Structure 1
Amino acid sequence: MVGGGQLARMTHEAGIPLGIGFRLLSDTPQDSAAKVVNEVVVGDYRDLDTLRAFARGCDVITFDHEHVPTGHLLTLQEEGLTVRPGPHALVYAQDKGRMRARLTELGVPCPRHRLVADPADVERFATREAGGFPVVLKTVRGGYDGKGVWVVGSAAEAAEPFKAGVPVLAEEKVDFARELAANVVRSPHGQAVAYPVVESVQVAGVCDTVIAPAPGLAPELALAAQELALRVAKELDVVGHLAVELFETRDGRVLVNELAMRPHNSGHWTQDGAVTSQFANHLRAVLDLPLGDPRPRAPWTVMANVLGGDFPDMYPAYLHCMARDPQLKIHMYAKDVKPGRKVGHVTTYGEDLAEVRERARHAADYLRGVIDE
């Protein structure tokens, strides 16, 4: 697996019961996954020779993030190495401009959008195509967790995204009711499974809480979202886990916001809340093994991210959280605690949504130090 973050850490964990040998290419020995994986290569994934040397001897290469240069992955494929998802698919998660163009070609509903050249072009897009300001600007590559994304209210506010010297995508600012995510997994021989559609609550551009299944979602819209995600996975030839982030509009439709071709924050609830987690199914898919059951174990599961706060040592908080809620599941990433940084998550499940949600929120806030009772 290329990338040493928490997604690699949890994917490795899912592979342990299956006896899967796991090799990791990590930026540093201090990365989350590097602290637990036995075979770690420390190096720069952007260097082709490093990537090639790491990949030799592996049955399959997969990813913790989408940032590996497309050309490098094409070279690995040409040299006979198995890359899943392949670069022909992964590019649509790497490049937002290409993603929008391909989804539009397939007739997949998306916000109004186009590539823009400069602030004046942003103004033309806003006034002629998007129904006016504000609009959303995104660098086509490299953004995540709100980085590389700007909401601008005028051409004068639109200068910042162009300073990086990379293409910029402009999109209408959708007046959505809420954000959803449809998570699916597809194998090389075409088997695919779909998890329940979830509600994803964002705070300052970062995923805060995920509720599975999305409460109050009309069954026909939930089914449509799952079918859309499965169709995207098939049309783009995705192998592995695909997260399709969606806007639910106020008139009862869904629009595709983003794609991620790897385990995803909106699927963390599956570790404790589904028969087969996203991490286990991602491994099964890239190894071309039969996929596992994606159904939930309980009527409601809530995942809440634990963000870093003012207390670098969260371990003492376990005493309170575990005593208060013996069913609580805590997943910490062994990352240095910094304000606002994702350092772990908690999951809760049960019959009553209000109670399940309160338990998750209380634990996440207590671990962070926001509350002390």
Structure 2
Amino acid sequence: MTYRVGVVGGGQLARMMIAPAVELGVEIRVLAEAEGMSAALAATAVGDYHDADTVLAFARGVDVVTFDHEHVPQPVLRALVDAGVAVHPGPDALQFAQDKILMRTRLAELGVPQPDWAAVSDADGLQEFVDAHGGRAVVKTPRGGYDGKGVRVVSHGTEAADWFAALAEDAHGGRLLVEELVDFRRELAQQIARSPRGEIVAYPVVETIQRDGVCSEVLAPAPGAGGRLEDVASAMAGDIAEGLGVTGMLAVELFETTDDRLLVNELAMRPHNSGHWSQDGALTSQFEQHLRAVLDLPLGLTAPHSPWTVMVNVLGGPAEGGLAERVPAAMAAHPGAKIHLYGKDPRPGRKVGHVNVAGDELDEVAYEARAAAAHFG
């Protein structure tokens, strides 16, 4: 029997599912948004994921549909389910990754710790929240934001006037999400996988380092994260996965506050940048694990190979020349580094690859990963 997985979205996450699929004997197909995308290494169809007929035609050739991103519209997802297609994660779960106000509402119902928040529909409502929370707050567009996009720190209600005007025309409503500006020590991420039969495995909690709203580095495991912190983070993620009905990989981005609390920041229901370290640092990578989970196969072990793994993103790439031509020099200077390029053209701020280094000493591992990644800058 050959399992067939269809991935909607042709970005780097779909690309990085290809190698483990081949190793597992899984046939993988991709519905890409355009020609020449990262995942073109797989059997790729090109089509509009907003169009139900296009996605249904793609789904007829696979056993399960999963995703490179969370942007497929709910009517399209519902049409797949109504047609009897196995969809993981399903629309009932994905809605909470697609709409941050829905997410906050559902997490509150589940009793999950999170920042104080409100849904506001005008500048007066935003100003009221800001005044009640020390004069500053974080405003987010409920849908579509990622990597720092759709996020602002404001001190006055008028600072989101353009977003209110744009959302007034949105079919989903004109509200913005506003959250308290959390006083946090560091940002963490907890990944778990959950299969349709309910099996759950957790990865070590990691520390994520952000620059300009984009993940720059991941330290795995998070320094000093043993014991209670690790137990709380994994239990929280498990409760969220079960409460939301997530199947596949789930990444829970967390704030570790200065008073030692863990608060949920964001959710991602797919492989995630915070888990790229697992390709070279864990017994089962997040990409293999996602395939196992969506196919309802037994899940793999998540233990690290080495005491430390550091992932450094390659952001933007070189101002002149390509990425591939720089690989030999990076390999020669840093033979322990594992280089992953996404087949993307360099562009300021764009994620075009990452480097993983594993080893026994955190400082040495971090230095090697940063130095190897610098070859591509």
1:19-57 per-residue CA deviation (whole Å, 9 max, x = no partner) reads 1111111011111002x01x2110110011111111113
1:218 positional shift: 4.8
What is the aligned partner in structure 2 of residue 354 from structure 1?
A: 363
Tell me, in whole angstroms, the C-alpha distance in 1 between the residues paired with 2:64 and 2:141. Answer: 30
Letter in 1 for 2:30: L
What is the aligned partner in structure 2 of residue 92 from structure 1?
A: 96
Q: How does 1:261-276 map to 2 (within 5 A)?
A: 261-276=269-284
What is the aligned partner in structure 2 of residue 49 from structure 1?
A: 53
1:254-288 per-residue CA deviation (whole Å, 9 max, x = no partner) reads 00000000000000000000000000000000001
Letter in 1 for 2:20: A
1:160 positional shift: 3.0
Tell me, in whole angstroms, the C-alpha distance in 1 between the residues paired with 2:175 and 2:120. Answer: 8
3-state SS of the aligned residue for 1:143?
A: coil
Tell me, in whole angstroms, the C-alpha distance in 2 between the residues paired with 1:118 and 1:311. Answer: 45
What is the aligned partner in structure 2 of residue 258 from structure 1?
A: 266
Name which of structure 1's ranges 309-318 and 52-61 shifts more when overlaid on structure 2: 309-318
Tell me, in whole angstroms, the C-alpha distance in 2 between the residues paired with 1:51 and 1:81. Answer: 11
Question: Structure 2: 5+ residue runs without aligned partners?
Answer: 1-6, 168-173
Q: 2:127 aligns with which of 123, 130, 147?
A: 123
Residue 313 (1) aligns with residue 322 (2): yes
Task: Check conservation: 2:191, 2:204, Cα contact below 8 A.
Answer: yes
Tell me, in whole angstroms, the C-alpha distance in 2 between the residues paired with 1:163 and 1:366. Answer: 43
Task: Check conservation: 1:328, 1:346, Cα contact below 8 A.
Answer: yes
Q: How does 1:144-293 map to 2 (within 5 A)?
A: 144-165=146-167, 166-293=174-301
1:115 positional shift: 0.6
* TM-score, length basis structure 1: 0.96
* TM-score, length basis structure 2: 0.95
1:216-257 per-residue CA deviation (whole Å, 9 max, x = no partner) reads 225211110011101111111111000000000001110000
What is the aligned partner in structure 2 of residue 114 from structure 1?
A: 118
Residue 13 (1) aligns with residue 22 (2): no
Tell me, in whole angstroms, the C-alpha distance in 2 between the residues paired with 1:223 and 1:213. Answer: 13
Tell me, in whole angstroms, the C-alpha distance in 2 between the residues paired with 1:71 and 1:267. Answer: 30
Task: Check conservation: 1:85, 1:238, Cα contact below 8 A.
Answer: yes
Task: Check conservation: 1:312, 1:338, Cα contact below 8 A.
Answer: no
Name which of structure 1's ranges 139-148 and 263-272 shifts more when overlaid on structure 2: 139-148
Q: 2:343 aligns with which of 322, 334, 337?
A: 334
Letter in 1 for 2:301: D
Residue 68 (1) aligns with residue 93 (2): no
Name which of structure 1's ranges 212-221 and 85-94 shifts more when overlaid on structure 2: 212-221
Tell me, in whole angstroms, the C-alpha distance in 1 between the residues paired with 2:300 and 2:175. Answer: 39
3-state SS of the aligned residue for 1:110?
A: coil
Tell me, in whole angstroms, the C-alpha distance in 2 between the residues paired with 1:360 and 1:239. Answer: 32
Tell me, in whole angstroms, the C-alpha distance in 2 between the residues paired with 1:314 and 1:88. Answer: 40
3-state SS of the aligned residue for 2:66?
A: coil
Task: Check conservation: 2:322, 2:345, Cα contact below 8 A.
Answer: no
What is the aligned partner in structure 1 of residue 106 from structure 2?
A: 102
Tell me, in whole angstroms, the C-alpha distance in 2 between the residues paired with 1:218 and 1:18. Answer: 32
Tell me, in whole angstroms, the C-alpha distance in 2 between the residues paired with 1:56 and 1:317. Answer: 41
Letter in 1 for 2:140: K
Tell me, in whole angstroms, the C-alpha distance in 2 between the residues paired with 1:163 and 1:361. Answer: 42
Tell me, in whole angstroms, the C-alpha distance in 1 between the residues paired with 2:137 and 2:216. Answer: 23
Name which of structure 1's ranges 313-322 and 167-176 shifts more when overlaid on structure 2: 313-322
Task: Check conservation: 1:308, 1:342, Cα contact below 8 A.
Answer: yes
Q: 2:373 aligns with which of 344, 351, 364?
A: 364
3-state SS of the aligned residue for 2:86?
A: coil
Task: Check conservation: 1:142, 1:148, Cα contact below 8 A.
Answer: yes
1:161 positional shift: 2.4
Letter in 2 for 1:205: G
Large movers: runs of 4+ above 4 Å:
none
Task: Check conservation: 1:243, 1:260, Cα contact below 8 A.
Answer: yes
3-state SS of the aligned residue for 1:125?
A: helix
3-state SS of the aligned residue for 1:334?
A: coil
Alignment root-mean-square deviation, CA: 1.1
The alignment-based identity, stated in percent, is: 55
3-state SS of the aligned residue for 1:295?
A: coil
